[in-house]
Amino acid sequence: MESMMKWHLRPLSLRNLLFVVVYCQSTLAGDCPADGRTWVPFGQRCYHFVHGEEDMAKSYTIEAAKSLCSGHELVSVQSAEESDFIIKYSPQVWKGNIHVWLGMYYDSDDEDFKWQDETGLSFKNWGNSSSSPELIPMDTCVAMHSTTGEWEKVSCVENLENGVVCETAETTSPLLSALVILSVVAIMGISAVFWFLHQKHQFGAVLTSFEYHPPFRAPTSDEACLVETEETDDMA
């Protein structure tokens, strides 16, 4: 029990402090853009589902779809959970089964698809018949089915009736981050004070219980004679 108390009162090291700060910042609730559009938070990302007329998707080329996001990116599906989120939310925006543009392009150098931020595809969900054989790779884009979540290769230049979903990262208030850091520093200071008081108390208890015992020394000749005389008198 005492050892556990000592551990709890031990001041936070710099490494532990940095871990706490990073953890707190990662768990802070971020904000979605306040630009007058409806943004839906999921995870640490924000999504804007572009409504069509009468809740129907309109026909856009991939470039027209990008322009609707106004400085943000077309959605990039990085996990099965994100795919399920889009599938579940799409019926609130569009009627019927549609496809949704994905922010993906064909990299001719690597001969593979990549997301708009140049990262590779860590998550894939290609359908069984994912493309038309007459599509030219450089003019090939990808859309996701809003019901199954499967990906399909489609033309980038044709006006396809695909839904548009914009995506951006949540932003954290600098003031809130500063408050978290100050709170952690305060906790570290309080921990150090308690640890110091505990150590001081322990050190005082050790000094109180310590008894001084002088080292043993042999008696001098005078002391030996005195003791011998006293013993002789007692016997007499």
Digit-coded pLDDT (tens) for 167-201:
999 886 555 555 556 666 677 677 777 666 767 66
Torsion of CA 217, 218, 222, 227, to 10 degrees: 110
Please tell me whether residues 163 and 96 are part of one structural domain: yes
Q: Which of 91, 153, 102 is nearest to 127 (CA)?
A: 153
70 pLDDT above the threshold of 80? yes
CATH number at residue 39: 3.10.100.10
Is pLDDT larger for residue 57 or for residue 161? 161
Q: How far is CA 48 from the centre of its chain?
A: 23
Q: Which pTM value belongs to this model?
A: 0.61
208 pLDDT above the threshold of 50? yes
Domain presence at residue 220: no
Please tell me whether residues 24 and 36 are part of one structural domain: no
User: Domain range for residue 12?
Assistant: 1-28+173-213
Please tell me whether residues 99 and 207 are part of one structural domain: no
Quote the CA–CA distance of 30 and 189 in Å, as a whole number: 28
Q: For the chain, how long is the longest CA-to-CA vector?
A: 134
Q: Fill in the amino acid letter for 122.
A: S
- Backbone φ and ψ for 96, nearest 5 degrees, come out as 80, -175
Please tell me whether residues 126 and 182 are part of one structural domain: no
Sign of the dihedral defined by the CA atoms of residues 44, 50, 55, 59, in that order? negative
